[in-house]
């Protein structure tokens, strides 16, 4: 079991410390990953904030986490992954309708 914290550049300053304390309490290693762009840098690059039609921050986050998961759990090895994320259901009617649990097709390959 591993824990992953994604450093987006937009989280509270205490977030990584809290994630580290939780991982230590659970006696599991914590890996900190960084997306290709930080959220503030990407906003500056695109000259706009994410909104209901342009939710680029989600793909920045998931691609960095998926890359680490593929490294630790290659498709050639038999493994089961439970990736727990938080969805703010109050944010939109679309998110409110999301399943509470679903297979992650981005990570389903071979024996993974």
Which residues span the domain enclosing 14?
3-77
Q: Is pTM beyond 0.85 here?
A: no
d(CA 26, CA 97): 32
Strands (E) across 2-104 are located at: 3-6, 30-33
In a domain, 62, yes or no: yes
In a domain, 20, yes or no: yes
Number of domains in the chain: 1
Q: Assign 79 a pLDDT band (cuts: 50, 70, 90).
A: confident
Q: Is 59 exposed, middle or buried (0-12, 13-18, 19+ CB in 10 A)?
A: exposed
In a domain, 83, yes or no: no
Q: Are 75 and 110 in contact (CB under 8 A)?
A: yes
d(CA 13, CA 19): 11
pLDDT number for residue 78: 83
How far, in Å, are 22, 65, 80 from residue 2 at the CA level?
A: 12, 12, 12
pLDDT number for residue 56: 66
pLDDT in tens, 52-65: 676 666 777 888 99
Tokens found for residue 4: 């992953």
- Compute the chain's Rg from CA coordinates: 15
In a domain, 95, yes or no: no
């Amino acid at each position: 079991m591993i824990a992953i914290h994604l450093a987006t550049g937009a989280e509270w300053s205490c977030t990584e410390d809290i994630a580290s304390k939780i991982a230590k309490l659970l006696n599991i290693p914590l890996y900190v990953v960084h997306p290709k762009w930080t959220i503030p840098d990407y906003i500056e690059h695109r000259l706009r904030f994410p909104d209901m039609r342009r939710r680029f921050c989600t793909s920045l986050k998931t691609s960095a986490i998926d890359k680490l998961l593929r490294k630790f759990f290659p498709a050639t090895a038999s493994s089961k992954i439970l990736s727990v994320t938080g969805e703010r259901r109050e944010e939109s009617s679309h998110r409110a309708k999301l399943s509470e649990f679903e297979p992650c097709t981005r990570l389903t390959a071979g024996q993974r």
